[in-house]
């Protein structure tokens, strides 16, 4: 029961407003390189030097993100912080959300050479029971935001 409540809460709070039908997405001439959840978790646990970027709007980032994630409100912010040879992993909410696909494409077309997409996103991370960070506690109704049965930090 708590699991279902968590899933419903997460889906409502992080609903990706960037979902599009597959026929409206322009085909690209390259294959998106991906990273799986367990490899990403291992990289974070080891403290590997890479940039984990959540490709969602600011409010989505504040609601829940993978610990250590970066967020940029503008392309200029990203350009200032990311080097062309940085190892970068982009993600959003789930496989159906295209925000991380658009971010991946932009990075590749801008000359970034070491980019991968974590397609499972926040939903897959939470489903594995891994910690999420939240900066939205002060903005949530009733003054608190929480995920039932899920560890969180910062909120």
Domain spans, the chain: 2-15+32-153
Q: Quote the pLDDT of residue 30.
A: 65
Q: Distance between CA 39 and CA 83 in Å, rounded?
A: 22
Angle 141-144-150 from CA coordinates, rounded to 5°? 125
Q: Quote the pLDDT of residue 32.
A: 93
Q: Distance between CA 53 and CA 117 in Å, rounded?
A: 10
- Residue 85 region by backbone torsions, left for phi larger than 0, else alpha for psi between -120 and 50, else beta: alpha
pLDDT digits over 9-47, tens only?
444 444 444 444 444 344 445 689 999 999 999 999 999
Q: Quote the pLDDT of residue 92.
A: 95
Q: Quote the pLDDT of residue 23.
A: 43
Q: Distance between CA 77 and CA 24 in Å, rounded?
A: 28
Q: Name the H helices within 31-120.
A: 37-46, 58-63, 75-81, 99-109
For residue 54, what are the β-bridge partners? Answer: 91
Q: Which residues contact 18 (CB under 8 A, 6 or more apart)?
A: 92, 97, 98, 99, 102
Which residues of the chain are modeled with pLDDT < 50? Answer: 1-3, 5-7, 9-28, 138-155
Residue with tokens 């490899």: 39
**pTM of the predicted model as reported, rounded to 2 decimal places:** 0.74
Fold of 2-15+32-153: Oxidized Rhodanese; domain 1 (3.40.250)
């Amino acid at each position: 029961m708590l699991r279902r409540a968590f899933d419903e809460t997460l889906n409502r709070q992080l609903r990706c407003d960037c979902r599009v039908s597959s026929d409206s997405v322009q085909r690209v001439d390259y294959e998106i390189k991906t990273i799986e959840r367990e490899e990403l978790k291992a990289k974070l646990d080891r403290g590997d030097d890479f940039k984990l970027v959540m490709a969602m709007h600011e409010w989505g980032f504040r609601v829940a993100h993978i610990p250590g994630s970066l967020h940029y409100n503008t392309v200029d912010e990203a350009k200032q912080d990311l080097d062309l040879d940085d190892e970068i992993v982009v993600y959003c909410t789930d496989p159906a959300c295209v925000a991380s696909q658009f971010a991946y494409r932009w990075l590749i077309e801008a000359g970034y050479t070491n980019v991968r997409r974590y397609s499972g996103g926040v939903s897959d991370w939470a489903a594995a029971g891994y910690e999420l960070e939240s900066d939205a506690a002060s903005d949530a109704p009733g003054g608190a935001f929480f995920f039932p049965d899920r560890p969180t930090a910062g909120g």
